[in-house]
Amino acid sequence: MRLDLVLLAVLSVQGPHRSPRDTLRLLAVGDINLGRRLAKDHLEKGDTLFPFREVMDSLGTGDLLFGNLESPIAPDSHTVESAGIKFTAPTLAATALARAGFRIVSTANNHAWDGGPDGVVETMERLSEQGIRFVGSGFGRAMAEQPVILERRGWRIGFFAVTRAWNPAPDDFYGHPGARYIAWGDPGWLYPAIRALKASGRVDLIVVSVHGGTEYREEPSPSHLRFLEGLVDAGADVVLAHHPHVLQRIIYRNGAPIVESLGNFVFSQDRPWTRLGAILRITVAPDHTMAVTAIPVRAGYQVTFADSAAADSVRTRLGLPLSPRTTRR
């Protein structure tokens, strides 16, 4: 185990800290799969900008860009037996993410084991080499469940990432070897961890990424929604969910936005509504007032902007008003 990677996974902010005085612009996108067909082909040819080229300027408008990395970065030789389709992305996938501006990604999802334990480790190493923080995986469960804290514009932002879907063992995650590397969305540890981080004074904002729910559903099940709402009750300021592969609405609980599903980003599927996505923009003022807007996109092996009826559909599915909604958190 490389000590430098372990130290990189959790950043401790020490010393006196004053309240943020600048506005924070957080950008978030949904599922990113760089291990399939055209996106993978271009990476193998050295074209690291292909998946993001058309939307690069917009990705660069925030202070922090977050996404869910759905494909381990590992050679195909690492692929192991797993239920369903398996994805593994070339080494240059980490370079592509860095060039697109990603500074932190979730590595907790149902495809995290597609490259086996070696794939999990290699993904963390390749991301670290490119200066990209990962959250939701680690060299041991304790590290996987730790928050990652980043500082931008005087804001200390704490990220948790968990999955509630697991292809190799959908009914027995803790009985699978992957439980030693990936964080599971168990409220028994997660809610107290959020409360503890909130009470510690180490962060100004807590963001929780959740990979779960039912694929292709228009809305979450009541039990999944209760889990997401429980994150806010525990102290989360922003909840970003994904896995259904379609956009679902943004709701608010005690002023905190819960994105029920960010849908796809770099991901190509046949169903029409899976091809709509968004670059979500969360603007947080120094007084913790939040405004949420979105840049509509068409998801695919290469992300492009959506316009006209498609853009209207994106906003409708997210439940966004014509003007940004502002809440106080």
pLDDT band at 325 (very low <50, low <70, confident <90, very high): low
Tokens 């409220």 appear where?
A: 187
Q: What is the pLDDT of residues 187-214, one digit of tens each?
A: 999 999 999 999 999 999 999 999 999 9
Query: In the chain, pLDDT over 90 holds for what percent of residues?
Result: 85
For 45, 85, 242, the CA distances from 224, given in Å and listed in that order, are 40, 24, 12
Tokens of 88: 């593994």
Distance CA 281, CA 27 (A): 5
CA 135-99-30 angle, to 5 degrees, is 50
CA 133-14-189 angle, to 5 degrees, is 60
Closest to 28 in 3D by CA, of 58, 8, 72: 58
Q: What is the pLDDT of residues 218-258, one digit of tens each?
A: 999 999 999 999 999 999 999 999 999 999 999 999 999 99
Closest to 157 in 3D by CA, of 204, 227, 90: 204
DSSP structure class, residue 7: H
Tokens of 86: 């398996």
What CATH number is attached to the domain comprising 80? 3.60.21.10
Q: Which domain holds residue 266?
A: 3-328
What is the pTM assigned to this prediction? 0.93
Distance CA 160, CA 134 (A): 10
Task: Work out how many domains the chain is built from and give that number.
Answer: 1
